[in-house]
Structures are given as structure tokens and as C-alpha cells.
Structure 1
Amino acid sequence: MDQIIAEIFPNTQLPYPIIFARFCGAIFFGGLIGIEREVRDRPAGLRTHILVSLAAAVFAIISIESIHMPGLSEEQVRIDPLRVVEAVTAGVAFLAAGTIFLSKGEVHGLTTGAGLWLAGAIGLALGFGHWLIAAFALVAGLTVLLPSAVLRSG
């Protein structure tokens, strides 16, 4: 039974409360971007932005933890956390591209795609523990999104 408990709750580099705080931050920050998109009835809304931000945070934390795993921290194994950033960027770009379409000669969905990309970047920042960077990116992103919503409704 002890082995099962140890498997479920392995020793981690980051304490579990910190990991969960980072996940909650990613959910909250991604949700704030998603709410704006949801209110404007865009194809990727609240849930999508939360999932993108949370997934990016999970990938970041897993990359941090993998560096310190027994067997993976030896000199002959080279783990590069920057590859996680590249993989998340490529994955989110793929999702974002799915929100962009051409209709009657006009391109739609670019802002939603950019919002997804930002949500992924914010999730990575939070996963790596850069709360202030994530908060600034969130405020900057909402500063760009919210005035355009006001201008269009006015």
C-alpha cells in the first residue's frame, strides 16, 4: 500500500500547494481572457481559454519536475525545458489556426486565435512561477481586447 501511495504522491521539486496555486492561477487568468471572448460570442470562449492556459501550466510544471526525476537528472540525459515552451507554442498555434476562417472575402477569428496564444503563454509563465509576468500579460491583453469591445458596441 505504501508503494501505491508513493506512486500517487511522488516527491516533487515544487511543493504540491505551489503546484496547485499555479494551476489555479492558470485557470483564473485564462478564464478572464475567455470571458471576454465568450461575451463576444467567439468560437473559442471561456472553457477553451481555461484549458489552453491550464494545459500550458501543466506542461511547464512537468518539465520542471522531470529535470529532478531519478534517472532523468543524470548527466547523460539532457532535458531542455525550452523545448516545452516550443511544443506548447506550436500546439496552441495549431488550435488558434482552427479559429481563423475566411468568409465573403474577410478574415475572421484572428483575435480569438491571438487570445488562445496569449492564454498559452500566460499558462507557461504561471507554470514556471512567473506570476508578475503572467499578470502583466493578462492586463496588457485585456487592455487590448476590452476597448475594442466598447468601440464596436458604441
Structure 2
Amino acid sequence: MGITIIDELDLILRLLAGMAVGVVVGWERTLKQQSAGIRTFGLVGLGTATAAAIFTGDGEADAASRVVQGVLTGIGFLGAGVITLSRAQQTPRGLTTAAAIWVTAALGCAAGRGDWPIVLTGTALAVLLLAIDHSVERWAGRRAGKPPSTTARHDSP
């Protein structure tokens, strides 16, 4: 079987969609002055779309599944690289950016597989979540600059 122009255009569309997902999420992170931005997220989206697109043929579902599993596990190392600990406040920083990298990887995989409803809906939901600022979290009960309490504190007499 030969590769047709339609097949080539479909592949290009999948890779562009993966990169576009990353650029959209990275744009939001760039606007909020985060350490990872448009280029990093664009590369994550493109890379994961490329990895997922390798095995999109008939009868390659098992191989594609393994690739996606490996990508989503491995991308955690990149996300971990943006997490830092603020010694002054004893709180981790960069968790949202790390989560956004992971989501971008998943959306890139969906783009590489050509699953357009997941790509479009997931991208919209990710940007919506990232648009929620800390004032909403404070309204919901988290105090500014304080980590969420996991245990009750009892003062001794």
C-alpha cells in the first residue's frame, strides 16, 4: 500500500493539532509569567502527537496504547522539573504548570491519534481551568500563601 496525499495531509493535521494544543496552553502559562511557556508546551504537544501518530494504522491499537502509556508516564519527569519549593512559605510552586504539561501531553497523544472531540473539548477545558485565578481558590477557602491543612492542629495548654 502506498501513502496518499490524503494520508500525508491527515498526518500533518494531527501533528499541527498537537503543536497547537501546546501553544494554546503555553500561551496562558506565558501570560502568567511561568517558567514553561509557548515553546516548551508546543514541543510537548508536537512530540506526543508524533509519538502517538507512529502507530495509528489498523491492527496497531496495542502498540499505540503502549506508546501513550509510556509518554504519559515519562512526561512526569518534565513536569517535575518545573516544581520548586518556596522555603519562605514552605509551599510547592509550579504544580499547575506541571499538571498543564501532563494534560498537554495527553491532548497531544489524542491529536496524534486523530481523536478530535477529545482534542477540542480537552483543550477548551484545560484553558478554562487555567483561567481560574487564585481569587476563586481563596473564595473557596484556601488562604493566600498558606498550604492547605491536612491535619487538625491542637495547641498544647
- TM-score surpassing 0.5? yes
| Aligned mates of 1:27, 1:81 — CA distance in 2 | 19
| Aligned mates of 2:7, 2:108 — CA distance in 1 | 18
Answer yes or no: is 1:15 the counterpart of 2:1: no
| Aligned mates of 2:118, 2:62 — CA distance in 1 | 24
Segments of structure 2 that go 5 or more residues without pairing to the other structure are 138-157
Deviations 1:67-125 (A, max 9, x none): 67xxxxxxxxx962211011111221110011111111110000000000011011000
Q: Partner of 2:33 in structure 1? A: 41
Q: Partner of 2:141 in structure 1? A: none
Q: Report the count of equivalent residues.
A: 134
Q: Give the superposed CA RMSD.
A: 2.5
Instruction: Check conservation: 2:79, 2:102, Cα contact below 8 A.
Output: yes
The structure where helix makes up a greater share of residues is 1
Does the residue aligned with 2:132 lie in a helix, a strand or coil?
helix
Per the TM alignment, residue 15 of structure 1 is displaced from its structure 2 partner at its CA by 0.4
Instruction: Check conservation: 2:20, 2:45, Cα contact below 8 A.
Output: no
Q: Partner of 1:130 in structure 2? A: 115
Instruction: Check conservation: 2:19, 2:44, Cα contact below 8 A.
Output: no
Deviations 1:26-56 (A, max 9, x none): 1112101000001111111110100001101
| Aligned mates of 1:149, 1:15 — CA distance in 2 | 45
Instruction: Check conservation: 2:23, 2:41, Cα contact below 8 A.
Output: yes
From 61, 77, 80, the counterpart of 1:97 = 80
Does the residue aligned with 2:26 lie in a helix, a strand or coil?
helix
Instruction: Check conservation: 1:30, 1:52, Cα contact below 8 A.
Output: yes
Percent same amino acid among aligned pairs?
31
TM-score, with length taken from structure 1 = 0.78
Per the TM alignment, residue 64 of structure 1 is displaced from its structure 2 partner at its CA by 2.1
Segments of structure 1 that go 5 or more residues without pairing to the other structure are 1-9, 69-77
Does the residue aligned with 2:56 lie in a helix, a strand or coil?
helix
Q: Partner of 1:6 in structure 2? A: none
